[in-house]
Amino acid sequence: MGADQASAYARLVGAQPPVAPTRVTLFRFGGVVYESRGTLSVHIPLSPTFYLPLHVDVVPLDVPVLLGHATPDRYGLYVNNVTKCLVSDGRGFALPLQRKGGHIYLVWGEDVHYSVAELDRIHRHLSHPHPDRLVAVLRQAGNPHATAETRAQLDALTKACQVFQRLVQAPSRFRVVLLPDDIVFNRLILIDIMYLDGKPVLHVIDKVTLFSAAAFLSGEIVEAVWWTYARIWAHAYAGHPERMRTDQGPQFVASGWQALAHAAGIHQRELGVESHNSLVAGERYHAVLRHIYRRVKADHPDLPLDVALTLAVSAMNKTIGPHGLVPTLLVFGLIPRVPVSPLRLPTQQDRMRAAETACKEMRAQVARTRVQAALRLRVPAAADADLPVGTSVLVYREPPTNRWIGPHPIVARRDEMAWVEVYARLRPFNVDKLRRYYPPEGASTPQRAEQGREAAVQGTEASGGVSGGAAQHGGASEAAAGGAPAPPTGVTPAAAAGNAAVDVPPPATAAAAAGAPGEEDLGALLNAVIAGERFVAAVDAACHAAVQLPVGGLPADVHLTANVRPGDAQISTARCQAAAREEVDGLLAGGAVRPVIRSAVPKGANVIRGRFVFTLKGVGTADEIPKARSVAQGNNDKAKAFVVHNLATLRQRSTRVLVSTSAVQRFRLFAHDVNQAYLQIQDLLARTLYLEPRKEDRNLFSIADDEMLLLVRPLYRVCDAGYYWHATLQKHVREDLHMTPLSSDPALYMRKGVGGLVGLLGTFVDDCFLGGNAAFQAATESTLRVFEAKPRQMDNMEFVGVRVTSTLATPRNFTLDQTQYATTLEPLPLDAPYERFTSERAAVARLEHTRPDLCCAINKAAQFNEASYQPRHVRALNATLKAARARQGLNLRYPPLDTTSLRLRAYADASFATNDDHSSQLGYIIMLADASRRVHVLGFSSRKSKRVVRSVMAGEVYALTAAFDEAYILC
């Protein structure tokens, strides 16, 4: 074959250039010797079902493919000179030949037949599609190899494909209508933000027709981007599209944008993290628009920017289209007229016919281009990646991280996208950014599933049963791995069913893949996750919440309150927005804020911003409800520097003192929770302070863009708001309840009667924890009348993160524990950053309220900084957490004591020079005991000595001194 013929063939079929020869091959033509430049794989079509595969040498001559006698003899072919055909009697075909210049030629066009290896290459490059889909693409390309034989070859190929076996869709029910198979404008749009002359521009492109729209943005917030999109696309053309594809820009992943898109009926899909330039035409046409815009500005420098951008977009839509087809022809069915001479406007029928012809041609061009690109381009390594749901993977992050992080589990998978749980958040990644994680030999995979099962095992060993959090945690993990979760040990099926109060759709299991009824499609659930539906809230609750389980015949557990992180998708759900409206209604009804005109605000006035903080009450139960609180960003308050914070806050030991005294005096415990406490402050704000809500929250307050809010009463997070509420509550406690504060803790009040002490009250912001006799219970009902509060909680409650339980029988025994909270904590990986370590350390430190055995380890975890941070500190913290989980039945119990033989005992000890910096550790515990050797733990501590300890005796003296001071205060 000649060199020119080889180049033409390679361009035609998208083949690789000739391969360099491994040895020297010489050919003689007309007495001249030529050396082979290499070999080229050529497929000569013989019939619709047969082709002739050859490896042809390329020489520097203008000659066609020359066949000797050996090739026809090998394949059973011969030339019939009479009929001028290439005949194969065994295969039953006769191919016409042409006689030119005394030679016989076989001429063929663009028909190319693929071998099994090439079909496998196309199959892998297109992400392992179904054979029907691949044959449809080949048929749209107009090639004759899209035959039944090719379909059979693809069936055999996909049956042996390991990836296709795991990615094949589950059987589905019959559908009445077919999926659309035509080019339709405004079905899928690509939307992105680019910059022209340093100013942000919103660029919208229709995926199929490449019709564009663009406009400058007034701002880069969600509202500005959305209304610009609506103005230039939704309201200008055919309304909102069916689907929208965006990148990971902060505007498009915000809950506000997703809520607007969901309300408009748009199915939005974000590209994967670290997947740059994956928006295809959405980003490729940025350069085209920028080039035309600069040309327009250069030709007309005085033209306004928005007019220049409009002219650039118009030029794109009239000239640049797919495969030479003008976008306006595909969308409107006509080519814009050139005003040279008057032309007759085509009729509507002519425009529709022109658009139909253009769309048909475009389908063929696009299909042909995709097939050629699949053959020409290199198959990505991720095409054969087998990463099912539940796999632990490493995620590559670009500089400055520039390494693989993890491992993290895959939660869901769709095509080339995988949703990975990264630090308790679902993040989409393309599979080419993931790599399977292989744990060390004999080590467990540090992912959520393994941690949940480990917690479940530990809980069973410690208390003979499975704690609620561990049972729910392990069950969710096992289901994600494809197994059906078993009910917890020691729990009846009815109880297990009652615990599953969270509305979590069942996971995809093997039964679901076989078409079992009642199972929901994971793909449909994934749409709900991305759109911010309640599925996110349910999954989050199922993974992190404590579930109610009766243990040892005690009353039902009181569940913890979960904070909703800023930017969480469940904030945009209907129930959270309803909670925000309820909070705003309370602010307006209570006169806490008042709208004012922005122009009336004095220059230099004290203006701070505000936002909503969302929490979930009763997590994991049927009574789970969201709560919204409007808070002010008091850190920007100009008066903050002049406010001295000296408010009384209930100490940890005061809670234990109140419970211990109630057990000794045979009191009954109960609690009050004041609703919107700061709105019930009696005094008005003594200074002028303005509040600027976030733009996405302005509609809740029903204020215009030229208005802001004047604070009439203090809000949460205002620097001096606590003083106003403290004054209001203290006035009620002193004057209405006739109680006096204790000198050891000003937030702990007592009330004495004729016979002595009748009740105690501890206050923590808007929560009140009380213990007293029947007369005191009746007297404190005035609190429920003075303030708007929730119904009184008797016997069992949660106060400042500590669960308080009481026995039903009298005299009552009280218990303080944080079992539910301990099950929500998770061990850290050894490569955890210091910031995450400090966050986890603070979370573990909350266990100090009820776990004296953990005080020393918790305090030692805070005795170093980022410079000295090492993996051994993570191991120590994980060991502390493991100990907390292993002994979940360990809590503080307060039985009734004999009042005639009470003794206050203090035990102190010191550990000389055992800390990392060779300092000493001092500890003590204070207990109230009687003659029967029953005790109440009142106070305990384990702290690093602030003094230089020069001997073992000195350490013991320092520890005993601290214990004596604490015991003296308690007396």
pLDDT tens by residue, 741-791: 888 888 899 998 888 889 999 988 888 999 999 889 888 888 888 888 888
Q: Residues in the chain, how many?
A: 971
Confidence of residue 214 (pLDDT cuts 50, 70, 90): very high
Can 188-339 and 897-971 be said to share one CATH topology? Answer: no
Task: Enter the CATH code of domain 188-339.
Answer: 3.30.420.10
Q: For residue 772, what are the contacts with CB-CB under 8 A and spacing of at least 6? A: 662, 667, 668, 751, 758, 759, 760, 780
Please tell me the predicted confidence (pLDDT) of residue 514. Answer: 39
With a cut of 60, say whether residue 225 has pLDDT above it: yes
In the three-class reduction of DSSP (H, G, I as helix; E, B as strand; rest coil), residue 282 is classed as helix
Please tell me the predicted confidence (pLDDT) of residue 503. Answer: 37
* DSSP H stretches of helix in 464-533: 468-480, 493-499, 510-513, 522-531
More confident residue, 708 or 333: 708
pLDDT digits (tens, 9 = 90+) for 12-57: 666 666 766 767 778 877 778 888 888 888 888 777 667 788 888 8
Please tell me the predicted confidence (pLDDT) of residue 526. Answer: 46
With a cut of 90, say whether residue 646 has pLDDT above it: no
Picking from 522, 600, 531, 527, the residue whose alpha carbon sits closest to that of residue 570 is 531
Residue spans per domain, the chain: 3-105, 114-169+346-380, 188-339, 392-544, 562-800, 816-888, 897-971
With a cut of 70, say whether residue 169 has pLDDT above it: no
Which residue has 């966050």 as its token pair? 839
Provide mean pLDDT across the span 787-798: 87
Confidence of residue 452 (pLDDT cuts 50, 70, 90): very low
Question: Residue 93 CB: number of other CB atoms within 10 A?
Answer: 16
CATH class of the region 897-971: alpha beta
Tell me the pLDDT of the chain averaged across its residues: 75
Question: Residue 368 CB: number of other CB atoms within 10 A?
Answer: 18
Provide mean pLDDT across the span 236-249: 85
| CA–CA dist 778, 790 (Å, integer) | 16
Please tell me the predicted confidence (pLDDT) of residue 909. Answer: 92
Question: Over pLDDT 70: what percentage of the chain?
Answer: 73
With a cut of 70, say whether residue 324 has pLDDT above it: no
With a cut of 80, say whether residue 142 has pLDDT above it: no
More confident residue, 492 or 356: 356
Q: Which two tokens stand for residue 632?
A: 């002010």
With a cut of 50, say whether residue 86 has pLDDT above it: yes
More confident residue, 797 or 163: 797
Provide mean pLDDT across the span 570-580: 80
| CA–CA dist 422, 428 (Å, integer) | 10
∠ CA(732), CA(733), CA(737), 5° rounding? 100
More confident residue, 542 or 723: 723
| CA–CA dist 962, 969 (Å, integer) | 11
Which contacts qualify for 482-485: CB closer than 8 Å, 24 or more apart?
A: 482/389, 482/390, 482/508, 482/509, 482/510, 483/509, 484/509, 484/511
| CA–CA dist 351, 335 (Å, integer) | 9
More confident residue, 500 or 725: 725
Under a CB-based contact definition with an 8 Å cutoff, are residues 949 and 913 in contact? yes
- Which of 513-527, 611-625, 721-735, 833-847 is predicted least confidently? 513-527
With a cut of 90, say whether residue 216 has pLDDT above it: yes
Provide mean pLDDT across the span 96-110: 77
Please tell me the predicted confidence (pLDDT) of residue 359. Answer: 62
With a cut of 80, say whether residue 620 has pLDDT above it: no
Provide mean pLDDT across the span 683-708: 83
More confident residue, 302 or 502: 302
Please tell me the predicted confidence (pLDDT) of residue 669. Answer: 92
pLDDT digits (tens, 9 = 90+) for 877-920: 888 888 888 877 788 999 999 888 889 999 999 999 888 888 89
Sign, Cα dihedral of 523, 529, 532, 534: positive
Please tell me the predicted confidence (pLDDT) of residue 182. Answer: 59
Confidence of residue 187 (pLDDT cuts 50, 70, 90): confident
Helix (H) or strand (E) holding 199: strand 199-206
| CA–CA dist 706, 837 (Å, integer) | 44
Picking from 546, 592, 674, 663, the residue whose alpha carbon sits closest to that of residue 928 is 663
- Which of 241-250, 441-450, 702-711, 716-725 is predicted least confidently? 441-450
Picking from 100, 194, 113, 196, the residue whose alpha carbon sits closest to that of residue 153 is 113
Under a CB-based contact definition with an 8 Å cutoff, are residues 86 and 44 in contact? no
Please tell me the predicted confidence (pLDDT) of residue 925. Answer: 92
